[in-house]
Structures are given as C-alpha cells and as structure tokens.
Chain A
Amino acid sequence: MPCGLQARKQSVPAMATHASTDHFERFGIPRSFDMDLGVLDSRYRELQRTVHPDRFASAGEAERRLSMQQTSAINEGYQTLKDPLRRGRHLLELSGYNLGDEPHTTRDTAFLMEQMELRESLGEVRGNSDPFAALENIMDRIAEDIVTLQSQLRENFERASVADLEAAASALMKMQFYRRLQEEVMDLEAALEDELV
C-alpha cells in the first residue's frame, strides 16, 4: 500500500480544469437533453479528422502534444454527450447545480420496492430453467424504466426551474441505480455464458 495516499473523489475529465467546459459548445450542438445521435456522430468524426494525432504524426512536438490533448477532450466530450446519464449530469453542472449536492439516497418507496424486486429476480436467475430469457426479461424492464426517466428528464431540463433541476438530479440518481443493475446483469450473463463452454 502506497504510504499516505487518499483518493479525494472520483476521477474527473482531465480537461475540465475550468467548470466552464461546455461539451455542447465544443460540438456545436444546442444545449438540450435531447440528442440527435446521428448529428453527434458526424460532428465527432469531423472534429477527429481535424485534430487527431494521425494528422500531426510529422509535426513538431508541441503540435503533437496539443493534438493529443484536443483529441482527448473531444473523446471525453463525445462519451459525455452520447450517454444519457453523463449528458444529464453535464447539463446539471452547466446549469450551475452543485453536483456535490446530488442526493445519494431516495425516499421514493415505489422506486425502492421495484429495485428490491429486480434484485430479487436477478438473484433467482441461476435457478431458472432458461436463465438467459430471465436476464433478458430483467433487461427489458430496466430499459422501460429508463425510457420513462428520460422523458421526465427531457421535461425537467426544458423547464429548468430550481425544482426541475432537483427533480432531474433525483432522476439521474435513479438512472445510476439502473446502470449498476444493468452492469450486474451483463456480468452475470458473461459468467453464465463462460460456464457453458
């Protein structure tokens, strides 16, 4: 164990030295929770063509370094804008909402009940006669819930009142719950597939 090492918080994008890093602006896309992924993809490719290190392989060291930094920032921006969870958090951040205030728990009992139920089903998958169908069933339920959360987020970010931003933060926290569950489903699916071989 390295002596005296303490992680202060989650890793952050290296480019975000200023709170003002606006990925929407970088990609020339209006600030909104809705995202046309086709437009995002084409902008991403265009930016990559302009700054990618392969374009500067014969350039001087300073230029190569700058190209690497710019490309890293563009990759970071693309990942942020592509993913609804990260996009939502970025919007919150840009609207001045302090992410440190983001709730880590919820009192939404219906949501908590459903989480417990989903986890229970996940725990029972191994005993199921068709575990893969059971996993797909769980994935479908999660996907449905995420769609509902997304339409709520869309409205929240459109109105963008203080109450809306708080509701958005809460919805994003729920999305984070679902994201972890999705990861667990995929891990289990991977484990089950590996056992088949």
Chain B
Amino acid sequence: MALLQISEPGQSTAPHQHRLAAGIDLGTTNSLVASVRSGTADTLPDAEGRHLLPSVVRYQAGQAPVVGVAALAAAVTDPLNTIASIKRLMGRGIEDVRHIGTSLPYEFVPGSSGMPLLHTAAGNLSPVEVSAEILRTLKNRAEQTLGGELQGVVITVPAYFDDAQRQATRDAGRLAGLNVMRLLNEPTAAAVAYGLDKGSEGIIAIYDLGGGTFDISVLRLNRGVFEVMSTAGDSALGGDDMDRAVAGWLMQQTGIEDDAGHGQLRHLLQEARSAKEALTTETSTPVCIERDDGTRWEGELSREVLNQLVAPLVEKTLLPCRRALRDAGVRAADIGTVVMVGGSTRVPLVRERVAAFFDAEPMVDIDPDKVVAVGAAIQADILAGNKPDDEMLLLDVIPLSLGIETMGGLTEKIIPRNTTIPTARAQEFTTFKDGQTAMSLHVVQGERELVENCRSLARFELHDIPPMVAGAARIRVTFQVDADGLLNVTAEEETQGVKSSIEVKPSYGLSDGEIETMLRDSMEYAEDDRDARRLREEQVEADRVLEALRAALKIDGEELLSAGEREVIDAAALSLEAARSGRDYRAIKAAIAAVEQACSGYVERRMNTSISKAMAGHAVDEFKSQ
C-alpha cells in the first residue's frame, strides 16, 4: 500500500516551480533583456514595443535619472549630463580615460579607488553606478513583462574583458539589485542562441563587433558541449570608432574644428552613425550638418568613401582573428562556420572581409543585435534550474594571462591565457627578512613581460605571517579563477598552517565597502527598505537551501548518511526553518551557514559519488563495445 505523501505546512507540493530568469546584454550602444517563455527565448520589448534600450543615461539635479530613448534625445542639448558608451569606462583607470576620454565628451574627476568619476548635475558618478541604472531599467522591464521578481540573471560581457572590467559589471548587477548567476562571454552566448550544440559538431568562429568592443572566439562543439578553444579581441574597438572616422571626414568637409562645442560634436557623431547605417543597404546617402552658427552643410557620403574610412578598423579586427586561430592550433580552413554578432557586422565591408578571411559565408540568420541576449536567456533558464535534463554545457576560457610582479618589474605568469575556467594555480613564496610578518603581491593581467605594460588588477597584502628566519616561511598563495572569469586570491603559511589574512586593494575597482555605501545611498535602498530587503533576500536564500537539501536527502540521504549524521543535518534544517519564519535576517543568515556547515561532509560525498558513477558508466560502456 502506498503511503499518502503530505507536505509540511508552507512547503510547496509542486515538484518544481518555474523560476523567473533573464539574460541581459549590457551593450556599449544598446542593451537588451531576454527570457525563455513557453520554451522559447526572445527579447522583451518595452511598453512602446522597442526591444533595444539605448545604453544612455541622463542625469538632472534633484530628479530620477532617465534611461534609453528619452535620454538619447537629450544627448545633443545636454551632452555633459547625458552619458553614453559607459561600457568603455567599466573597470578602467583615470590613465585609460585620458586615452579614451578625448573621444568621450564628459567631465571627469578622479575617484578615491582609482576609478574615474563622471561629473554630472546629479553629482559625481562612477561607471558602475551608470551601468547599474541601465540594468535597473531592464530589470523593471523584465519583471513587469514576466509578472514577478527575477530570481536570477545572466549578464554578458565581451570575452576579452579583463578581471577589472568583469568585476565592475558584476558590481553594477549587484547595485541594480540583481542576483547575477553568471557573467557569460558574448560570443559564447551567440553560439548558444544559434543552437549550434544541436546536431552540429566541429570548429566554429564567432566574430563579434559591437559598438565599442571586438571579440573573436574559436569554439569546438561536441555533443552539447561548447568548448572555447581560444579567444582574442580588442576591448576598445567597435562601431563607435567607425562613427568617429566618419565624423572626422565630415569635419574636414564642413570645416568644423576639434574645439567645437560638445553639442556640435555629438550632432556630428549622430549624423555619422545615421549615414553609416544607411549605407548598409544604399550605395550613397545624403548628409546634412547644421553648424553652431546656424549655417548648413549638405553633401553625400558614398559606400566607397565609407569603406575607405573604416577599412583600417576592419583590418585591425583581423589581427586578433589570426591570434585566436594560432592559439587554438587551427587554420582558417578548419573553421566550418563563422557566426556574425553585433550591430557593426551589418557594415558590408565587415562581412566581405570576414568571409574572405575565413573563406566561409558568415551566418547572419539571427538579428545580430539580439543574438547575445537570447543566448544569455537560454543559459539563465538552465542555471535557474528550469531545465534539469539539458545536456548543454559551456566550457569557457580566461582571455588574458594572470601574473604577478617579481623582481625588476617583470611579470611572472601564473595562469596563461586561454586556460579553461574554473582553474586554480598555487605559488609558494618565502620571506626576505628575519621576522617578516607581512608581504605584498601585485597581481597583473596581460601578455607583456614588463609589469608596466600589463593591467594592474590589485595589490594583495598578506598579514599574520608567523615570524621566522628569512626564507623559512612557506606561504602558499592560491589563485582561483571562477566560472565568471573572476580572480580570487587566498594565502596560507604552510609550515605552521596559519591562514594569512588578505587585504585587497583593487587597482580600478570598488571595494566591498564602497559598494555597500552605494547600495545604502541609492534610492531603492532607502533606510527603511534596507532591512526589509535583506530579510527578503535571506528568506529566499533559506528556501533555496532547504529545497535543495530536501531534494538531495530524498535521493541519497539513506545511502550516504549514518543515523547520527542525519540527525545533525535534520536539526540544523529545523533551526533554519524556525529562523526562516522570524523577522531577523541575521539569524536566518547564521542558520543557513550552520546548515551548510552540517552538510559539508555530505555534500562532498555526494559529489564524489556522482563522479564515481560517471566514471563507472563509462567503464561499462567501453567494456560492452569491446
């Protein structure tokens, strides 16, 4: 006789609830949000039916920021307070901005954390805060369309983004109140959107030319696994540069000088972009420029002239293409499929040159503006647990080598570029002086030998090293890169087993404290709401932990746990349930930690068991086939 199953009060009887998840393409020029609904991934439009959200934010004193089309409209009249192309500044330092900044018409002030701040009517703002504003708009759009709170999102980043740029993107997500399940590389997202895992096998290239970034990735497909073999690119090259090349030509034609006002330059750039876009289908297009003095210039731009203007930029993208092929150990002829991503791949010359380089007709079936968001939505749906049986797996790589500074300002590589992530490497260090109790590590990213030619990521200070004679201490520093491509450093003194504490000073990023302050300051986190929000977050987390635990115990709790161990876990779970029904977020947090602590042995046993099972299955298969 079957026993009736009765669920506990408050516990859902449904075996699995669909979790709301979304994919976000946070672009230089436009941003999009997409979600899987009824099994199909698609981008979500705003109330006016527009899918693309211009990545533009306008700030005015004492008013809420305006994002998107309305902000873009103010770009010419209010250029200093209307921030566009903020992605170019993510994770960048004040020095970089001097370099890129000449082409961005904003006023910068140095921030406390090496990050440049933009001076606007609403105060000084970091690029992270501006990006968070765009993300918040997309979050609201998704939640209104889907009719509920988003449980998690996947945000895409250029594959060639370094650690600081990735961290800045993740911070922006956090600031926007999003649970960022994963940062996904844009080319990989595009491959997912094309469903290239279904049926097709072989080597493909993804050519992704966006508004401000260029990526090339070489992937190997095999039975649902996307394995990135290499990636290369230029995180400061894109359609914006084409617009500037055209604007430069317009300046020559019209006699407008470099020192023209911000508004005049913005107008030139917008006209340049419109002309470039028109030449995707036309062979010639009329251009009309209004000068600040009220006079007008009317002329024409032909596709031929456009091609001449942008040809050097297109050629510049082929250098990383060659490098990616070399790093993957393949030749152009080995590439079966080339996928085009990013609005700038609409430029006819780009398609021509890429087709000639790979000797393959590029795939353009999915709208190049939407393809990345769609792929991110598919990945988000899987990560949220909505498709537990899906075979798809993404194996991505770190785009740039990670190293540390050694004697004489040289770089010693710890993790080479194109290493599959997650990955961990350890390095041993020793002390230089008797009784030394602290040391500092400078972590850099890049391929060059001299530290000054690489990007400085952070300085780590190790403290609490037990005092010993010089050279006796053995400090093991572990560099762990997670599935988001983000670096984490830990250190331990090995002879005495002391965990050294680490103080991180990000070179161009925000410290945890600064993010906390921003979260506190932002309007959504007004003082009263803050505790309520924290409570809500911890409750959601508690439910997730409990649900996962119940599911696991049902499967193999009997098999893997002794009665005593089971009692400890059950007790911890009961305490968590009790805390969950209270109003104290700190108590819930502590109870979650206690459950995880109680389960640590169980979790490890489960994973080892599944590994053994995976291997055993193989041995049987091979035995049969022999």
Chain A residues in the interface with B (C-beta under 8 A) = 1-9, 11-15, 27-28, 39, 41-43, 45-54, 57-63, 66-73, 75-76, 78-79, 186, 189-190, 193-194, 197
Contact = CB atoms under 8 A, between A and B. Distances in A.
The 10 closest A-B pairs by CB, nearest first: A4-B432, A14-B424, A57-B383, A72-B424, A2-B440, A14-B426, A53-B483, A8-B428, A28-B615, A62-B596
16 contacts: A2-B442, A5-B439, A6-B471, A9-B428, A11-B425, A43-B618, A45-B222, A46-B617, A50-B610, A50-B613, A58-B384, A66-B607, A68-B482, A70-B611, A75-B422, A79-B419
Instruction: Point out which of A11, A59, A70 has the most chain B C-beta atoms below 10 A from its C-beta.
Output: A11
B423 to A, nearest CB: 5
B322 interface: yes
A193 to B, nearest CB: 5
A61 B596 contact: yes
Contacts of B405: 1-2
B237 to A, nearest CB: 14
A12 B425 contact: yes
Nearest to B410: A1
A62 B611 contact: no
B607 A14 contact: no
B406 interface: yes
Given A7-B427, A58-B152, 18 more contacts: A4-B431, A11-B426, A14-B425, A14-B480, A45-B223, A50-B610, A54-B394, A60-B545, A68-B422, A68-B482, A72-B424, A73-B424, A75-B419, A75-B422, A78-B420, A79-B419, A190-B322, A193-B322
Nearest to B403: A11
Interface stretch (B126-134, B360-368, B517-525, B598-606): B598-606
A5 B408 CA distance: 11
Given A11-B414, A14-B426, A197-B318, A54 B182 contact: yes
Contacts of B545: 60
Contact of B182 (A13, A57, A67): A57
A60 B253 CA distance: 62
Contact of B548 (A13, A60, A69): A60
B582 interface: no
A68 B480 CA distance: 9
Interface string B8-41: 0000000000010000000000000000000000
A62 B426 contact: no
Interface in B201-254: 222-223, 225
B478 interface: yes
Given A5-B441, A189-B326, A54 B382 contact: yes
A104 to B, nearest CB: 18
B108 interface: no
A6 B617 CA distance: 46
B307 interface: no
Contacts of A79: 419-420
A67 B459 CA distance: 27
B174 interface: no
Interface of B: 19, 152, 181-182, 222-223, 225, 315, 318-319, 322-323, 326, 379, 382-385, 391, 393-395, 405-409, 412, 414, 419-433, 436, 439-442, 459, 471, 474, 478-480, 482-483, 544-545, 548-549, 592, 595-597, 599-600, 603-604, 607, 610-611, 613-615, 617-619, 622
A44 to B, nearest CB: 9
B20 to A, nearest CB: 13
Contact of A12 (B322, B422, B427, B544): B427
A49 B614 contact: yes
B395 A48 contact: yes
Nearest to B488: A68
A51 B611 contact: yes
A122 B222 CA distance: 37
Contacts of A69: 424
A189 B327 CA distance: 12
Given A6-B429, A14-B425, A186-B326, A68 B483 contact: yes
B383 A42 contact: no
B427 A75 contact: no
A57 B422 CA distance: 14
Contacts of A53: 422, 482-483
Nearest to B379: A54
A9 B319 CA distance: 35
Given A68-B422, A76-B424, A54 B383 contact: yes
Contact of B611 (A6, A11, A15, A47): A47
Given A11-B414, A71-B422, A5 B326 contact: no
Nearest to A187: B326
B463 to A, nearest CB: 13
Nearest to A58: B385
A105 B610 CA distance: 45
Contacts of A73: 424
Contact of A48 (B318, B393, B478): B393
A45 B610 CA distance: 14
Given A54-B483, A190-B323, A46 B225 contact: no
Nearest to B431: A4
A57 B395 CA distance: 15
Contacts of B474: 8
B393 A8 contact: no
Contacts of A193: 322
Given A72-B480, A189-B326, A12 B393 contact: no
Nearest to B610: A50
A47 B326 CA distance: 28
A188 B33 CA distance: 44
Contacts of A76: 423-424
Contacts of B225: 45, 48-49
A57 B181 contact: yes
A2 B318 CA distance: 38
A51 to B, nearest CB: 6
A78 to B, nearest CB: 8
Contacts of A7: 406, 412, 427-429
A140 to B, nearest CB: 15
Contacts of A67: 607
Contacts of A47: 611, 614-615
Contacts of A68: 422, 480, 482-483
B603 A5 contact: no
Given A28-B619, A54-B394, A60-B596, A197 B315 contact: yes
A1 B409 contact: yes
A4 B461 CA distance: 12
A46 B619 CA distance: 12
A12 B270 CA distance: 52
B412 to A, nearest CB: 6
A1 B407 contact: yes
A28 B615 CA distance: 7
A62 to B, nearest CB: 4
Nearest to A74: B611
A63 B384 CA distance: 15
Given A8-B474, A54-B394, A76-B423, A66 B603 contact: yes
A4 B483 contact: no
Contacts of B315: 197
A179 B7 CA distance: 62
A62 B592 CA distance: 11
Contact of B326 (A50, A61, A190): A190
Contacts of B414: 11
